[in-house]
Each structure stands twice: as C-alpha cells, then as structure tokens.
Amino acid sequence: MTDAPVLQISAPLVLTLMLDAASQEWFDVLRGKHFPPERNHLAAHVTLFHALPGDRLEQVTVDIRAAAEREPFPLAVTGVRSLGRGVAFELAAAEVSDLHAGLSAQWQPWLTAQDRQRLAPHVTVQNKVEPAAARRLHAQLSAGFHRFDVTAQGLALWRYEGGPWSAVEAAPFRTPADRRGVT
C-alpha cells in the first residue's frame, strides 16, 4: 500500500493573475534572490483572491473561464511598496479592478474578510525578513525606479496546501481571433 496524497476538497482556493513570460521571469528572479529560501514555496504572483472555498471548485472554475473571455491587458508597475518585513511592486490597471469587482460580486457570500477588501494588486519579491533588510531592498529597488508595464495574460487557480500551492486551472485571456477559433 502506498501513501498517496489525500486531496483536500475543502482546502482553500487561491486565484492569481497570470503575467507575460518575460515579466514573470523577472519577478521570479527577484523573488528567488530576496525571499528567504526556506519560505519561498511559490513563484512570484499577483493574488486576486486568497481563500475561496474549496468545495465551490466547480462554480469557481466556470466563473473564471467566463471571466477570461477578454483580451490580455497592460498592468502598470507603479512603484515599490514597503511591507515592513518585505518589499512588493505595486500594480495598477482599471481592467484588473473591474475583473476583481465582477468576480467579487458573484462570490460575495463566500468571500473572507480579507477577500472583501479593496484590491491592491502587487507582486511580493521579499517577505518575512528583518525590517532593516527590507528597508535596504526597498531603497535599492526604489532608487531610479521608473514606471513600466507588464501584461496580464490570464487567470490561474490554485489549491492552498499549507505553504505550497498546487495548480488547479489555468484560464488564459483570449483575443477576439482566439474566440473565433482563428489562430
């Protein structure tokens, strides 16, 4: 008999925004360099919802597939934010706010207090370090910072497993040509 992992149907679901490959790689490199290795179980990510109910997987999947019926859109990287014990890049786009608001309205009865809060999209590249180390990285990344754009490419759904996440669903955004089946 083997000890197969037990699927936790009730384990929370996490919804993130997928970024273009070059931007994802850039954020991953920074995270790999500055995040404590013993705590760095994940790739860099933009969390839209932190704890959707795992027992609502079917409905969540249907809803994110429908929400992905849109074109990829630019996100502005607008600044470097101190987290006290870490550092993140702030993101802004009307499209991500609208996307979040639409899903929030659909899922309102299920949302945790954290997920009911106004979305402040960001990519964390350092967390859970001494405040002095966070201040140093914040100063380093802020020096000469210039706003730049990344591209939102889709939605990714994950199951939270007490640290690491396991992939559940990827829903890439699609251009009108993709929706017609034209490549």
| φ, ψ of residue 23 in degrees (nearest 5) | -65, -40
- Which pLDDT does position 2 carry in this prediction? 47
Looking at the structure of the chain, the number of domains it has is 1
84 has pLDDT over 60: yes
> Over the stretch 111-159, which tens digit does the pLDDT of each residue have?
999 999 999 999 999 999 999 999 999 999 999 899 999 999 999 999 9
What is the value of pTM for the model shown?
0.89
By three-state DSSP, how is residue 141 classified?
helix
Confirm whether 112 is domain-assigned. yes
Confirm whether 134 is domain-assigned. no
> Over the stretch 162-183, which tens digit does the pLDDT of each residue have?
888 999 999 999 866 665 554 5
Confirm whether 99 is domain-assigned. yes
Confirm whether 170 is domain-assigned. yes
Q: How far is CA 88 from CA 103, 114, 122, 127, 181, in A?
A: 24, 18, 6, 9, 38
What are the residues whose beta carbons fall under 8 Å from the beta carbon of 68, sequence distance 6 or more?
A: 154, 155, 171, 172, 173, 174
- Whether the Cβ atoms of residue 51 and residue 115 lie closer than 8 Å to each other: yes
Domain of residue 110 covers 13-74+95-121+150-179
Q: Which residues pair with 46 in a beta bridge?
A: 17
Confirm whether 89 is domain-assigned. no
45 has pLDDT over 90: yes
